[in-house]
Structure 1
Amino acid sequence: MKKIKSALVISDNIIVLQEMKRMLANLEIKHVFEAYDSDSGLKSAKKYQPDYTFIDMDLGKNSSLKTLELIESKTSTRIILMEKKCVLKNEILTNSKYTLLEKPVTLNRLNDIVHPNLSFAALLQEARKLVKEESVATMFQI
């Protein structure tokens, strides 16, 4: 039986919340929970135990980092950090537990995160593998 996936989006920006909810629904994430600040985000993460937690780093660096640490210590959710210009790449992401999702978020990039086996990158890798296998098989059919 296929597991129904869930996500929590933590942002104080209503547009970010609405767009993430719409895109996640398009990717068949059935349960999308919203939180507008660190406190409600932590409560929702503990209550719903979502598969994915998207934290908008524009909550303010200290608030976002506090939320990140608390959620990480209290749940087993996969944490995705959303940020405008990848400023955190060098700071936080040396720890590869987190995924960075650059804003504005695209449906393709979001799909790569929530459905890695169906992502464009995975399909491209599979196609390259098949082409390589076909090339090797053709070389020996002379």
Structure 2
Amino acid sequence: MSFSAVSFNDPKPLFTIYAGRRPVLVTDYDLDCMITTAFEGGIQEWAGRIRTVHPSIDKKPRGVPQSTWAAAALLTDGVVFIDDDDDGCQPNTMLTLSMCRRGFQEFIRLRTEQKELDGYIDYNGRIEMAMVDAGDASGMLQFALWGEWVYA
């Protein structure tokens, strides 16, 4: 099987989450952006080793960034293991696509409760990933892994 990255020009719907009662579509591109932003800046403070298990490709292709490889694996029912490098206060854990759904949902729920949702949802009912910074992406990943935002 050959490897292909997520396409910005042709995003595929993954799931719907809710901002209050408003539906918000999350695409494969949104997942890729969240993983990339988290891996390249958001989780540097707390994450240690990251291991990706792709269901149909044994080894990460040369030149493919770890974040792109992880997103591709998650989108094909693979898993990503992220070791807590801080002080071990969180269990080392595995990340799946269904867990990412929880991460997106809990992040949007939190921003809705804090009345800080402006700009995060575009007029088409999609997450505006340009508004999601490294800290936000880390929060989404922490919600996905542990159900709470542990490292601010």
- The normalised TM-score by structure 1 is 0.29
Larger RCO of the pair (alpha carbons < 8 Å, separation 6+):
2
Higher helix share: 1
Say which one has the larger Rg.
1
- The normalised TM-score by structure 2 is 0.28
